[in-house]
Structure 1
Amino acid sequence: MAKIANKQVICDVLMREAEKDKDIVALCSDSRGSASFSKFAETYPEQFVETGIAEQNLVSISAGLAKCGKKPYAASPACFLSTRSYEQCKVDVAYSNTNVKLIGISGGVSYGALGMSHHSAQDIAAMSAIPNMRVYLPSDRFQTEKLTEALLKDEKPAYIRVGRNAVEDVYEEGKIPFEMDKATVVREGTDIAIIACGEMVKPALDAAELLDEKGVSASVIDMYCLKPLDKETIIRVSSNVKAVVTVEEHAPFGGLGSMVSQVTGEHCPVKVINLSLPDEPVISGTSKEVFDYYGLNAQGIVKKVMELI
């Protein structure tokens, strides 16, 4: 099974399309290596902008380019893009409704060993709160490719969060059931619904397979589109199970768990348990070490489900 970082897939798609479309521009804030944009910069130097460590300028310049008819893709560490340049994301991009695609790289706890200053456990909540800003967390290389291709076809703002490391496949090549702004039901179940996003989808799928061995039937929903949120799918799957478990690499407030609870509370009351990072500075370590410590892995999900039923 191939393991490729989602950020690399974004660059690959942009490089392929930039050869045909000279309006595509990639921008970085001294992060071309981290963003996997080095090859893009070398191949298309006239379609690349390096702002240096200046995230606010990165976003404002992107907005200006969009107003001139360009198609900017601005990549910067999610921890800084969603905080230091928040006002520019809100005003220059979203309020002005410019065609800027913001790519939050090394999202969640990808920079695990560097601590809270480099973690982005608030970005789903922050970006989702901005009118006109869409928020996406693709789960694997195949979905990332489909999403990037779809975003190239529209002219609306968006924030895409991807991790730092290579991730395992969730889908099979040639069998990617992708629909823009529609959650993917990876598998159907009758007892429990596990709704996950980003890198948490693969552990959710692994957990569902382990639960099968225990006689528990679990649905797995890949909610890659946090905003707009696919309420219809949430209502459908939640109406037919005993409980819902949400799994996210995010703080417990304002993320996937909060969104799902809001929808189920209004339309189909059911018990919702949110597995997330804690409301505290998380431990230092690799992503896997952090996930294992807080139960954001297949075994942790199984344990929580078995406590529910």
Structure 2
Amino acid sequence: MSVVFDKESTRVAFGNALVRMAEEDDTIMYVAADTLKSVGGTQIKQKYPNRALNIGIAEQNMALMGAGMAASGAKVFVATYATFASMRICEQIRTFICYPNLDVKIVAGLSGLSGGQEGVTHQGIEDVGVLRSIPNLVIVEPADAASTEVITEAITKHKGPVYMRIGRNASPTVFDDTYKFEIGKANSLIDKGNDAAIFTTGAAVRRALDAEKILAAEGYGVKVIEMPCIKPLDEEAVIAAAKATGLVFTTEDHNIIGGLGSAVSEVLSEKYPARVERIGIRDQFTESADHEELLDKYCLLPRDIADCVIAGIKNK
């Protein structure tokens, strides 16, 4: 199955969009914790050097600086790796950014397994679970470069805290410049039948679409629904898919505990009980390897997703 990759990574796409927004809004600031190059800050530093700060490996200070600048009227992007953006600065996000509902965007690089060979310290597979319970925080995850640019522009215009997951290397192309995004809304990508519904987000979107091709070739008709916004979740889309199919799958580049799968399960347990199967990292620490090798090891490739869906359909 051939896959076309973006010319740019999601982190570069974020940086491109940020510069465009900074041209229009002189209140935009960028603060990085020794991650200026690796989390999309190169472009804004080159064009607006006084509006991009690299403060070194001091993530808690970074978050507090962002909160202080936002309290003074700035629109601030703070950027580091997902493991640090969720766990090392969790208290600062909760108490000093989200509690006062400040206009700070937390950009989390190396999300999911994109950290690859850097290992467990840099593989952000728990971050959504850590942060999803914090009030006022919007959580988004683009699937590719095109959607990253659109989502970056949207969250820049949103007044309030946002956490955005992005990856490391060029991602498989999913969307183009016609991509639409709205906070709290799902995107229906494929609707070829009611055998099952697959909800997906971020880097897992391309794999879910490829899994659907396998399923279609084997005679199964499913729905594939992108959830670029994990919080707030599009509950109406979740309930509608469950009513139509009676069988819901989630696939994500995250631990199955606390992420998209948990969010979907919570909605359905309260509002329309239906069977849910979560595809992701199964509550374990991951190893160091190339990204594709990790996807294979943890059964997250398109064939793995398709096999899981087929098994579920056969047991409906």
Give the drift of 1:267. Answer: 2.1
SS state at 2:68 partner: helix
The residue number in structure 1 matching 2:184 is 181
Task: Note if 1:225 corresponds to 2:244.
Answer: no
The question of whether the paired residues in 1 share the 8 Å contact of 2:15 and 2:42 is answered with no
Aligned partners of 2:9, 2:34: CA distance in 1, in Å? Answer: 19
Question: What is the identity, as a one-letter code, of the residue corresponding to 1:186?
Answer: L
The residue number in structure 1 matching 2:298 is 294
The residue number in structure 2 matching 1:137 is 141
1:147 to 141, 145, 151: 151
Give the drift of 1:252. Answer: 2.0
The question of whether the paired residues in 2 share the 8 Å contact of 1:79 and 1:119 is answered with yes
2:97 to 93, 96, 102: 93
The residue number in structure 1 matching 2:88 is 84
Aligned partners of 1:268, 1:27: CA distance in 2, in Å? Answer: 43
Question: What is the identity, as a one-letter code, of the residue corresponding to 1:64?
Answer: G
Task: Note if 1:58 corresponds to 2:36.
Answer: no
Question: What is the identity, as a one-letter code, of the residue corresponding to 2:120?
Answer: M
Q: Percent identity?
A: 35
The residue number in structure 1 matching 2:250 is 246
1:198 to 196, 199, 202: 202
SS state at 2:281 partner: coil
SS state at 2:203 partner: helix
SS state at 1:246 partner: strand
SS state at 2:170 partner: coil
Give the drift of 1:283. Answer: 2.1
Give the drift of 1:109. Answer: 1.6
Question: What is the identity, as a one-letter code, of the residue corresponding to 2:56?
Answer: G
Task: Note if 1:13 corresponds to 2:17.
Answer: yes
Give the drift of 1:158. Answer: 0.6
1:160-171 → structure 2 map (5 Å cutoff)? 160-171=164-175
SS state at 1:179 partner: coil
Aligned partners of 1:225, 1:292: CA distance in 2, in Å? Answer: 26
Give the drift of 1:125. Answer: 1.0
Q: Note the alpha carbon deviations across 1:252-284, whole angstroms, 9 max, x for none.
A: 211111111111122222211111112222122
Give the drift of 1:173. Answer: 3.5
The residue number in structure 2 matching 1:103 is 107
Question: What is the identity, as a one-letter code, of the residue corresponding to 2:135?
Answer: P
Task: Note if 1:74 corresponds to 2:78.
Answer: yes
Aligned partners of 1:171, 1:24: CA distance in 2, in Å? Answer: 27
Structure number having the greater strand percentage: 2
Give the drift of 1:57. Answer: 0.5
Moved over 3 A (4+): none
Task: Note if 1:117 corresponds to 2:117.
Answer: no
Aligned partners of 2:183, 2:86: CA distance in 1, in Å? Answer: 23
Question: What is the identity, as a one-letter code, of the residue corresponding to 1:178?
Answer: F
Give the drift of 1:242. Answer: 3.8
Q: Note the alpha carbon deviations across 1:2-55, whole angstroms, 9 max, x for none.
A: 512111111101111212321111111001111131232121111111111000
The question of whether the paired residues in 2 share the 8 Å contact of 1:55 and 1:76 is answered with yes
Give the drift of 1:138. Answer: 1.1
The question of whether the paired residues in 2 share the 8 Å contact of 1:115 and 1:281 is answered with no
1:32 to 15, 30, 36: 36
Moved more, 162-171 or 100-109: 162-171
Question: What is the identity, as a one-letter code, of the residue corresponding to 1:180?
Answer: I
Aligned partners of 2:285, 2:37: CA distance in 1, in Å? Answer: 27
Moved more, 12-21 or 67-76: 12-21
Task: Note if 1:264 corresponds to 2:243.
Answer: no
Q: Note the alpha carbon deviations across 1:88-133, whole angstroms, 9 max, x for none.
A: 0111100111100000011112222122222211111111111111
Task: Note if 1:278 corresponds to 2:282.
Answer: yes
SS state at 2:46 partner: helix
* Structure 1 stretches lacking a partner, 5+ long: none
Give the drift of 1:179. Answer: 2.7
Question: What is the identity, as a one-letter code, of the residue corresponding to 1:294?
Answer: Y
Give the drift of 1:220. Answer: 0.5
TM superposition score normalised by structure 2: 0.94
Number of aligned residue pairs: 308
Aligned partners of 2:53, 2:176: CA distance in 1, in Å? Answer: 35
TM superposition score normalised by structure 1: 0.96
